[in-house]
Amino acid sequence: EYFDLSSLVHKIFDEFTPLCQKKDIEFLLDTKDNIIFYGNEFRIKQLITILLDNAIKYTGEEGKVELKLESHTSTVQLSVSDTGEGIPKEHIDKIFDRFYRVDKSRSRNHGGAGLGLAIAKCIVNEHKGNINVSSVVSEGTKFTVSLPYKAPQN
Ligand code: ATP
């Protein structure tokens, strides 16, 4: 189905704003308006939610999280970046695996199952896109999702 991806991104941003305020995280949104996207709105919402959940979970007080949406000729690019703890290089290849968590002992603090990114990857594949991550320990992480896009022809 076609849906307004820009409005969805705004809606999700509003939903996560209170959580960021509570953690004293600076939360920024940068989006182009009127991006009408063909895909599964529920699944795309789930995808963005997973990435934001993680960004906020792995970023300490006074950090910064940014949600960005850009459109190009034949792709849209969604990115979630944070100034959190980062992911050590040796773990990067495995974080999209089911049940994989960088620090198992952290489960007590954060209570994740290690499924989020496996689901995220699955949703990106369903939309024939790709997902990339770049991360520096103690500096932060950026997930970039690129999805094929064709504007509706009225
Ligand atoms: P959940 O299933 O609740 O999402 P999770 O966060 O442990 O639990 P994933 O979302 O699959 O599981 O993430 C896998 C691992 O990747 C995490 O345990 C964490 O170590 C690392 N990770 C994911 N996103 C970030 C991030 N933004 N900053 C730092 N580490 C991250």
3 CA → ligand 1 middle, Å: 28
Reported ipTM: the value is 0.95
Share of the chain above pLDDT 70, in %: 94
pTM metric for this prediction = 0.94
* Nearest alpha carbon, ligand 1 atom 29: 86
DSSP 76-135: EEEEEEE-SS---HHHHTTTTSTT--S-GGGHHHH---S-HHHHHHHHHHHTT-EEEEEE
Q: Is the CB of 58 under 6 A from ligand 1?
A: yes
**Which residue has a Cα nearest atom 25 of ligand 1?**
54
Return the DSSP state at 33: S
108, pLDDT greater than 60: no
- Torsion sign, CA atoms 117, 123, 125, 128: negative
- Integer-rounded Cα Rg, in Å, for the chain is 15
Q: What is the pLDDT of residues 79-94, one digit of tens each?
A: 999 999 999 999 999 9
Kindly report, residue by residue over 13-40, the tens digit of the pLDDT.
999 999 999 999 999 999 999 999 999 9
What is the whole-number distance in angstroms between the Cα of residue 54 and the centre of ligand 1?
6
Backbone angles phi, psi at 112, to 5 degrees: -95, 165
| SS3 of residue 143 by DSSP | strand
pLDDT for residue 105:
60
Q: What pLDDT sits at residue 130?
A: 98
Residue 153 pLDDT = 80
CB 65, CB 52: distance < 8 Å: yes
| CA quadruple 7, 110, 114, 10: dihedral, nearest 10 | 0
Mean pLDDT of 106-135: 87
Distance, CA 73 to ligand 1 centroid (Å)?
Answer: 31
Ligand 1 touching residue 63 (CB < 6 A): no
Cβ of residue 113 lying under 6 Å from some atom of ligand 1:
yes
**Which residue's CA lies nearest to atom 24 of ligand 1?**
54
Q: Which residue has the tokens 């920024």?
A: 28
